Structure 1
Amino acid sequence: MKLKFPLIAAFVAVLSLTACGGGGGDDSPGGNTSVSSPATLTKTDNTVGTGAEAVSGKTVNLTYTLWLYDASKSDHKGTQMESGPYSFKLGTNAVIPGFEQGVTGMKVGGKRTVEVPSSLGYGVAGSPPKIPGNSGLVFEIVLNSVQ
C-alpha cells in the first residue's frame, strides 16, 4: 500500500513528460530547447568513501559538477552548467531537495553520480537564465569532509 502514491506519481510524471514534446521549432537564439528529466532520483556510487557519513545536521564540504539531464546521452550528461567546491548544512533546505538527498548517506572520499528529476530540482519554473523549466539534472559529487 505504501508504494501506491509513488507509483501514481511516477505514472503522472511520465504522462506529463510525453505530453510536453514535439511539434515546435527551436525559438531560442543559438540553443536547443529540448528538456528531459529522469522519472525518479537515482544515486550511483562510483567510489564508496570510508570516512565520516553525511547526515542531517552536519556540514558537508564537497566538489560537484552539474549538467542538464539529457536522455539521449548514454551517461545522461547534457550541457555542463557549473562546477566547483560547495559547503552546506544538511537538513536545512539550503539546496534543492534532489541535491540534498543525493549527498545524504555519502561517506568522505566517496564519489557519486546523482540524477535528479525536475520535481526535486528547480521544477516548472527552472532557474533562469541557465536552467530551463522542467529540466532534470545530473550531479557528480565528491565528498571532501563532514563537520
Structure 2
Amino acid sequence: MENEIKKVNDEISVAAYDPNENSFKTFADKGFKSVINLQTDEEEQNVSQEKEKELAKKLNLEYKHIGISKDNLSEAIVNNFRQELESLPKPILVHCKSGKRSGAFVMMHIGCQKDMSGEEVIKQAEEMGFECDVPELEQFLKKYVNDH
C-alpha cells in the first residue's frame, strides 16, 4: 500500500499514503510540479507540514497545505481546494493519510467540471479504487457536486 499513487487524469494524481522524506524525491522524479497536503497539523504525520514545504521547495515543487478534517468540511474549503487545482502547475499530486480525503476532494472537482451527479461521482470514485467509507464525507460530496 505504501507509495501507492493513483492517477486520476493527466493533471491530477492522489497519493494514498502519508509521505515521508523520500516521497518528495519520488514525486519530483515522477514529474509532478505541485503537491497539495490535506492533512491537519493535529494529525500524526511522517513529515511535518513545514518539513514538507521545505522538501518541496528544494525539489522545485509548488506546495500548498489545506488541512481538512470533518470539523472544517465546508463549501468554502472545497472551493479553495478547486482554485488551487486550477492555478497550480500541473501535474499535481494530492495527499492525505489514506487517500480518502484526497480522493473525495479530487472527485468533487472532476464531478463539477464534468457536470456529473453526486451519485455518479461516488460510483466513479469507487471504480477508481477510492473508498468512501466515511458517511459524512460521502453525504457532503454528493451534496456539493449536486449543488455545483
TM-score, L = length of structure 2: 0.30
Which is helix-richer, 1 or 2? 2
Q: Which has the higher contact order (CA 8 A, sep 6+)?
A: 1
- Mark the structure with the bigger radius of gyration: 1
TM-score, L = length of structure 1: 0.30
